[in-house]
Amino acid sequence: MLAAATGDVKRRSFFREWILTVDHKKIGIMYAVTAIVFFFIGGLAALFIRTQLAMPGNMIIPPDMFNQAFTMHGTIMIFLWIIPMLTGAFGNYLVPIMIGAHDMAFPKMNALSYWLFLLGGLVLMSSFVVGAIPEVGWTAYPPYSIQSQGAGLDLWVTSVHILGLSSILAAINFIVTTFNMRAPGMTMNRMPLFVWANLVTSFIQLFGTPALAGAVTTLLMDRHLKTTFYDVAAGGDPMLYQHLFWFYSHPAVYVMIVPAMGIVSEIIPVFARKPIFGYKAIAYSSIMIGLLGFLVWAHHMFVAGMQLSAGIPFMITSLIIAVPTAIKIFNWLASLWGGQINYTTPMLYVTFGFIGLFTVGGLSGIVLGNVPLDLHLHDTYFVVAHFHYVLFGGSMMAIIAGTYFWFPKVTGKMYKESTAKIIFWTYFIGTNLTFFPMHMIGLNGMPRRVFVYTPDLTFLNQISTAGAFLVGLASLAFVIQICVATMKGEKASANPWNANTLEWTNASSPPTEFNFEALPIVTEDPYQYGEKPGKSKGNIA
Amino acid sequence: MERFLWLPEAIGKTASEIDGLFNLTFAIALVVFVLVEALLVIFMIRFKRKAPGKEGRYIEGSTKAEVIWTLIPAIILVVLGIYSSGMVYTIQETPSDVYEIKVVGMKWAWEFEYPNGAKSMNDLRIPEGKNVLFKITSKDVIHSFWVPEFRLKQDAVPGRETQFVLYAQDVENLNQKYEKRVICAEYCGNAHSKMLADFTIMPAGEFDTWVAEEKTRKKTDGYSIALANGCTSCHSIDGSKGAGPTWKGLLGSERELANGQKVVVDEAYIKESILDPNAKVAKGVTGVMPAYQLDDETIGYLVKYFEELK
């Protein structure tokens, strides 16, 4: 048993403890807390949207406010919630400790990444204060975005730039850390799968983000410096922006799902009490997703004015990217087979939650990636249903699963299982009620980003609105439970799940400042669970 | 209700082909869905922990299994991709005998121009039995021309011409007005949701008469002019809130401008607001109105209509 951090650690002021910290764990926690605040702002925007859509001709919210609501909802959820939560919070907290390092390779740069993230978020939030909320959609297509009035778009672009810098710095930090800071014996193929996922994600961020920076910079230049990248009258072309934008923003989808898949791969073996099935297949399929992810961007543009047949190569890559995803799903299912499955809350979220719901989003992706079908479905609610099954059914379920799973490690406390399970089922039902009807709504002719619609679709929309409020309730309950458990939960042991990765076996709960008492030496693969014939249960030294 | 659980009515050869592909893809997806969910639920129940502390079986993986579940999806997807590629070329082809209709998207209305020069606003008429080629462009920002019944859409991009073909086929509902089924699918501002047009498929003879008359017909009824120019997307006529001020009780009223001045809404003010909407913006209006080049006579008819709304 490891010595817990006890009274001999000097108490430091809040300022020294948090504001000046370069500890990857504290930075991870700061990312998580900040991102959750943004999640609630983005969630309120979503409830705003669903309230308006509860009736076909509602006028609760004027059209310009509705447009601001969906713009902020998309921007906040992507840039200020899912990406910072997965790469910032989980990545920062877990990567060093999982590979047996004391900290990130560049701890100060790591702190800078966080503060830039906060700054970028505050710049976007300042639009509420100055009353210039962007209303251009999170995609900000020109020429519409260039013509928009007020400072909203300028704030949006500034914010995206700052957040992009934060992402690039974090990506470099993760790559260097993962390659150089591994403990003795921690070969690449002994790295936990979350570390693999985070590594691939970092490369995607590093190569993709500059394209986004270029795209939004040209918007700003067209607006203020009289350049004509997108001005048709002067020979510009609005489609250039779409290429640049999606060259980042489609890979960004994998930034939001690959680390989530990493979390799933960590949790399943612990509670199935089995080694992960097909470690290398899961690890390397992430690389395949990362590479192919850069070759599918124009499937967002099948109807944007390209020749239809120019979409064919992108259709083929978009269909093929389903293969590495399928590999993961089948390996996870095989990991369950022959297990002794422990029904804990994190396990429910990754199995019924992630596998169950992400599959729906993956399959509707095959429908949308198909050029002839996209002619009908592009920019409809079918698309909205698709990416919410991926991001809410997928990423979100993994985020909550990971929060419960590492909660004892981070806080040193336990949460209450029975309450957590009720919250899970509320989420599960709410998610399906909200997003499943959107498939049919889209098929029947409701486009995205509209604030009124034909009365035929009222019932389906009302189911969706009801579901959204259920999800809102579950989210509130989730955060309350986490707060209550942090303050009043029972004390957790160093390894309450009997897990095998280094953060559980070699660190206390919560870990000490430099993670380990002594440098870990790794002698075995990370998922040595289960009854080995003729050998007792293995463990990491 | 059940009508809305699946695809809407299909019009045109392409729509039927796309529906066929949709059904095929859906069937494949359904099989995979049932397989994954069934295995998930069965494994979760079958392998529930029997006793605390009991460990699962030590199985690290199987190359054979990996090969199977990599190759089978890959083959299915590549075959589906090749089959769909063939259809892409078919849809892209333009037959030699086409009737061309020009579609212009603008904030916030659809204009349709026929080969004889006749134009209709927010009212698309299609002759039965002809292959219709839609040539699509935009006057301002990007819109997207979508008719769910055709299963086709193309963005209306300024400075660019996109197109698609609606193939002739037997149509059941001749002369039926499909209200608001020409839809803008690309977000384009405050009245994006209301950028809708009707379409009607007419018997060829009736269509010819209509299109010939339409060319010379001068609109004199204010309401039709308002409708045709898309004014009602933002301005209500019953006092309800919209992106722009309502027209009910507008004429003769006094209103405050954004700069604090007060003006009386008379014919001159209305004319100015149509030709140069940003000159005197009413207080509290956040929507942006594009300029409309209407002649004095047409504006006169509109003002006459406003009289009725007092």
ipTM of the assembly? 0.92
Chain B CB contacts of A327 below 8 Å: 66, 69-70
Residue B54 lies in a domain: no
Chain A CB contacts of B37 below 8 Å: 356, 359
User: Is A531 close to B40, i.e. CB distance below 8 A?
Assistant: no
Closest CB to A144 among B62, B154, B189: B189
Structure tokens at A133: 């909320």
Query: What is the DSSP-derived secondary structure letter of residue B111?
Result: E
Q: Residue B172 burial by CB count (10 A; 0-12/13-18/19+): exposed, middle or buried?
A: exposed
- A156 versus B229: which is more confidently predicted? A156
CA angle, residues A384, A386, A388, in degrees to nearest 5 = 70
Residue with tokens 């460990």: B55
Residue B181 lies in a domain: yes
pLDDT (tens digit per residue) in A205-256: 999 999 999 999 999 999 999 999 999 988 899 999 999 999 999 999 999 9
Question: Contact B158/A238 with Cβ under 8 angstroms?
Answer: yes
What is the Cα–Cα distance from A303 to A513, expressed in whole angstroms? Answer: 54
**Is pLDDT at A8 greater than 60 in this prediction?**
no
Question: Contact A376/B154 with Cβ under 8 angstroms?
Answer: no
**Is pLDDT at A3 greater than 50 in this prediction?**
no
User: Is B57 close to A339, i.e. CB distance below 8 A?
Assistant: yes
Residue B190 lies in a domain: yes
Compute the mean pLDDT over every residue in chain A, rounded to the nearest whole number.
94
Length of chain A: 541
**Shortest distance, CA A232 to any CA of chain B (angstroms):** 6
pLDDT at A534: 56
Question: Contact A488/A465 with Cβ under 8 angstroms?
Answer: no
Residue B57 lies in a domain: no
CB-based contact (8 Å) between B157 and chain A?
yes
B245 and B292 together in one domain: yes
CB-based contact (8 Å) between B18 and chain A?
yes
pLDDT at A338: 94
- DSSP H/E element including B112: strand B109-113
Cα B90 vs. chain centroid, distance in angstroms?
Answer: 23
pLDDT at A402: 98
Compute CA distances A417 → A159, A414, A475, whole Å.
39, 9, 16
Residue A108, C-beta contacts closer than 8 angstroms, at least 6 positions apart: A22
Amino acid (1-letter code) at residue A68: Q
Residue B51 lies in a domain: no
DSSP, collapsed to helix, strand or coil, labels residue A239 as: helix
pLDDT category at A539 given cuts 50, 70, 90 is very low
DSSP, collapsed to helix, strand or coil, labels residue B48 as: strand
Candidates B198, B184, B127, B129; CA nearest to B153 is B184
Q: Which of B169, B190, B216 is the last residue of a domain?
A: B216
CA angle, residues B108, B109, B112, in degrees to nearest 5 = 155
What is the Cα–Cα distance from A460 to A465, expressed in whole angstroms? Answer: 9
User: Is B47 close to A319, i.e. CB distance below 8 A?
Assistant: no
What is the Cα–Cα distance from B294 to B225, expressed in whole angstroms? Answer: 10
Question: Contact B99/B127 with Cβ under 8 angstroms?
Answer: yes
**Shortest distance, CA A27 to any CA of chain B (angstroms):** 35
Candidates A224, A227, A244; CA nearest to A236 is A227
User: Is A320 close to B74, i.e. CB distance below 8 A?
Assistant: yes
Structure tokens at A151: 């400072």
Candidates B186, B14, B82; CA nearest to A303 is B186
Phi, psi (degrees; rounded to nearest 5) at B221? -95, 120
User: Is A274 close to B146, i.e. CB distance below 8 A?
Assistant: no
**Is pLDDT at A513 greater than 60 in this prediction?**
yes
B205 and B107 together in one domain: yes
Candidates A396, A386, A357; CA nearest to A43 is A396
DSSP, collapsed to helix, strand or coil, labels residue B256 as: strand
- DSSP H/E element including B264: strand B262-264
| Beta-bridge partner residues of B155 | B144
Chain A CB contacts of B160 below 8 Å: 232, 237, 239, 305
User: Is B56 close to A273, i.e. CB distance below 8 A?
Assistant: yes
Domain membership of residue B285 as a residue range: 222-308
A50-64, A370-384, B217-231: lowest mean pLDDT where? B217-231
Those of residues 158-177 in B touching chain A at CB distance below 8 A are: 158-160, 162, 164
User: Is B78 close to A320, i.e. CB distance below 8 A?
Assistant: yes
pLDDT at A537: 47
CB-based contact (8 Å) between B56 and chain A?
yes
**Is pLDDT at A324 greater than 70 in this prediction?**
yes
Query: Other C-beta atoms within 10 Å of A458: how many?
Result: 16
CATH number at residue B202: 2.60.40.420
Compute CA distances B131 → A435, B33, B126, B225, whole Å.
38, 39, 10, 30
Chain A CB contacts of B1 below 8 Å: 459
CB-based contact (8 Å) between B240 and chain A?
yes
pLDDT category at A541 given cuts 50, 70, 90 is very low
Compute CA distances A85 → A358, A400, B8, B78, B303, whole Å.
18, 10, 40, 35, 57
CB-based contact (8 Å) between B233 and chain A?
no
B173 and B193 together in one domain: yes
What is the Cα–Cα distance from B146 to B294, expressed in whole angstroms? Answer: 27
Closest CB to B91 among A315, A343, A372: A372
What is the Cα–Cα distance from A263 to B158, expressed in whole angstroms? Answer: 45
Would you give per-residue pLDDT tens digits along chain B (310 residues)? 456 788 999 999 999 999 999 999 999 999 999 999 999 999 999 999 999 889 999 999 999 999 999 999 999 999 999 999 999 999 999 999 999 999 999 988 999 999 999 989 899 999 998 999 999 999 999 999 999 999 999 999 999 999 999 997 777 888 999 999 999 999 999 899 999 999 999 999 999 999 999 888 777 778 878 877 878 878 887 777 777 888 888 888 888 888 888 888 888 888 888 888 888 888 777 667 888 888 888 888 888 888 888 7
Closest CB to B48 among A147, A278, A343: A343
Candidates A87, A66, A74, A91; CA nearest to A38 is A74
Query: What is the DSSP-derived secondary structure letter of residue B5?
Result: G
Kindly state the greatest CA–CA separation across chain A.
Answer: 77
What is the Cα–Cα distance from B72 to B85, expressed in whole angstroms? Answer: 20
Structure tokens at B142: 């990007």
Closest CB to A363 among B29, B158, B159: B29
Handedness of CA A503, A508, A514, A519 (dihedral sign): negative
Chain B CB contacts of A524 below 8 Å: none
Closest CB to A323 among B61, B73, B88: B73
User: Is B77 close to A273, i.e. CB distance below 8 A?
Assistant: no
pLDDT category at A10 given cuts 50, 70, 90 is low
Question: Contact A303/B145 with Cβ under 8 angstroms?
Answer: no
B147 and B42 together in one domain: no
Amino acid (1-letter code) at residue A418: S
% of chain A surpassing 90 pLDDT: 91
Query: Other C-beta atoms within 10 Å of B30: how many?
Result: 11
Residue A101, C-beta contacts closer than 8 angstroms, at least 6 positions apart: A177, A181, A182, A183, A515
Chain A CB contacts of B5 below 8 Å: 440
User: Is A372 close to B194, i.e. CB distance below 8 A?
Assistant: no
Chain A CB contacts of B191 below 8 Å: 63
Residue B167 lies in a domain: yes
Chain B CB contacts of A533 below 8 Å: 58
CB-based contact (8 Å) between B9 and chain A?
no
B189 and B238 together in one domain: no
Chain A CB contacts of B8 below 8 Å: 443-445
What is the Cα–Cα distance from B170 to A52, expressed in whole angstroms? Answer: 40
Provide the domain count of chain B: 3
B79 and B138 together in one domain: no
Residue B52 lies in a domain: no
Structure tokens at B61: 């993986």
DSSP string for residues in A302-346: TTTTS-GGGGHHHHHHHHHTHHHHHHHHHHHHHHHTT--B---HH
Mutate to test the interface with B, among A133, A138, A144 (most CBs of B within 10 A): A144
B108 and B178 together in one domain: yes
User: Cis (ω within 30 of 0) for the bond into B108?
Assistant: yes
User: Is B154 close to A303, i.e. CB distance below 8 A?
Assistant: yes
The structural domains of chain A, ordered by start, are 21-505 (1.20.210.10)
CB-based contact (8 Å) between B199 and chain A?
no
Residue B56 lies in a domain: no
Chain B CB contacts of A141 below 8 Å: 142, 186-187
Chain B CB contacts of A281 below 8 Å: 61, 66, 70
CATH number at residue B245: 1.10.760.10
- A134 versus A540: which is more confidently predicted? A134
Query: Other C-beta atoms within 10 Å of A261: how many?
Result: 30
Size of interface A-B (CB pairs under 8 A): 289
B66 and B174 together in one domain: no
User: Is A316 close to B81, i.e. CB distance below 8 A?
Assistant: yes
User: Is B29 close to A303, i.e. CB distance below 8 A?
Assistant: no
Residue with tokens 């350049």: A227
What is the Cα–Cα distance from A422 to A426, expressed in whole angstroms? Answer: 6
B189 and B273 together in one domain: no
Chain B CB contacts of A459 below 8 Å: 1
Exposure string of B122-147, with b = 16+ CB inside 10 Å and e = fewer, is bbbbbbbeebbbbbbbbebbbbbbbb
User: Is A141 close to B40, i.e. CB distance below 8 A?
Assistant: no
Handedness of CA A366, A369, A375, A380 (dihedral sign): positive
Candidates B285, B290, B288, B262; CA nearest to B275 is B290
